[in-house]
Amino acid sequence: LHLSLRRQRQMCIRDRLNPNVTDLRLYDIRLAPGVAADLGHINTPSQCTGYAQENLEQALEGAEVIVIPAGVPRKPGMTRDDLFNTNASIVRDLAKAAAKVSPKAHMLIISNPVNSTVPIVAEVFKRAGVYDPKRLFGVTALDIVRASTFLSGIAGSKPADTNVPVIGGHSGVTIVPLLSQAQQGSSVSPGEQYEKLVHRIQFGGDEVVKAKDGAGSATLSMAYAGAVFADALLRAMHGEKGVKQCAFVESPLFKDQVQFFASPVELGPNGVENIPALPQITAEEQKLLFLSRDLREGRDVFNTVRAEFNRAREELHLILE
């Protein structure tokens, strides 16, 4: 069972084709029944139903996996954090309904700013007394997809064989690619080429926002990445062993600094099975993590993730009243 919201029709097409999806439910403030009728004609065994705005709880009832890409996209010049005021309350309302009617669902959060919307879902579930940190994920899969695409472009390798773990968070400098962990990482020259590649991975979302020129942000590559992550989770839920994906989750890795942190995570039937220690990272990668790169804000990765988390908490009393 798997539900998807708004903008991500491409993801729904992949879900209709995924043998582990038995019941695909679409919810949106408009058009979901029409999209579901269209998708429902694809000849795969799963059911597909669309729900109108007033039927949110019905759509979520008993769901095992809930994917939330809802909310407004960026315009050129905006950061993901600029979306907080609009998207935080949208995510809060969806999370409230999920906590009520599908408290055991795995929650896959795509809505930006992910570094803040994930703690919001955690808080809503905590207040409802149903929070399970193993089942809450900020989807950072697009950062991994971009890192693979851009590195293979330099290395001349097959993207499918070019795997770069990406840690930290999902906004600008909090996106930290571990190129040293990719076999092809050594084909990147130190200095300018390395820095340009890291910057492109960190600001890949901005590249799309700029190219779309006011018409939104990444939807197709995000839909692909979201479907890759959802598929991995569904395989792990069905008993496949050794499934590993990067995700922004409640993490012990830097728990004195931040509660949520993205890193490679082993998935199992109940969500997060294990969060392995980070591999040995290079001095350059340490710099990306620990040294201030955001000159405007004077923050390092931890400060930025913490600030976005604190903002979610501080404004929670307004949006969770």
Q: Tell me the C-alpha distance between 29 and 52, whole Å.
A: 7
Based on the shown chain and the rule CB under 6 A, indicate whether residue 208 belongs to the binding site for ligand LMR: yes
Number of H helices, E strands in the chain: 12, 11
What minimum distance in Å lies between the beta carbon of 79 and ligand LMR? 9
Based on the shown chain and the rule CB under 6 A, indicate whether residue 68 belongs to the binding site for ligand LMR: no
Q: Tell me the C-alpha distance between 250 and 154, whole Å.
A: 33
Based on the shown chain and the rule CB under 6 A, indicate whether residue 145 belongs to the binding site for ligand LMR: no
Is residue 92 a contact partner of residue 131, using CB atoms and an 8 Å limit? no
Which CB sits closer to ligand LMR, 64 or 308? 308
Q: Tell me the C-alpha distance between 16 and 158, whole Å.
A: 27
For residue 259, the tally of other CB atoms under 10 A from its CB is 18
Of 69, 205, 226, 264, the one binding ligand LMR by CB under 6 A: 205
Based on the shown chain and the rule CB under 6 A, indicate whether residue 67 belongs to the binding site for ligand LMR: no
Using CB under 6 A, which residues numbered 75 to 94 contact ligand LMR?
80
Based on the shown chain and the rule CB under 6 A, indicate whether residue 6 belongs to the binding site for ligand LMR: no
What minimum distance in Å lies between the beta carbon of 252 and ligand LMR? 25
Q: Tell me the C-alpha distance between 43 and 113, whole Å.
A: 36
Based on the shown chain and the rule CB under 6 A, indicate whether residue 74 belongs to the binding site for ligand LMR: yes
- Residue linked to tokens 């929650």: 107
What minimum distance in Å lies between the beta carbon of 83 and ligand LMR? 7
Phi, psi for 203 (deg, rounded to 5) = -115, 25
Alpha helices in the chain (DSSP H): 9-17, 32-40, 56-60, 84-101, 114-127, 141-155, 192-202, 204-212, 220-237, 283-290, 301-314, 316-319
Q: Which range, of 149-157, 181-189, 205-213, 229-237, touches ligand LMR by CB under 6 A?
A: 205-213
Task: Concatenate the DSSP letters of all residues of 20-41 into one string.
Answer: T-SEEEEE-SSSHHHHHHHHHT
What minimum distance in Å lies between the beta carbon of 263 and ligand LMR? 18
Active-site annotation, residues = 170
Q: How many residues bind ligand LMR (CB under 6 A)?
A: 11
* Site map (CB under 6 A) of ligand LMR, residues 212-251, x = contact: -----xx---x-----------------------------
Q: Name the site residues for ligand LMR (rule: CB under 6 A).
A: 73-74, 80, 112, 142, 205, 208-209, 217-218, 222
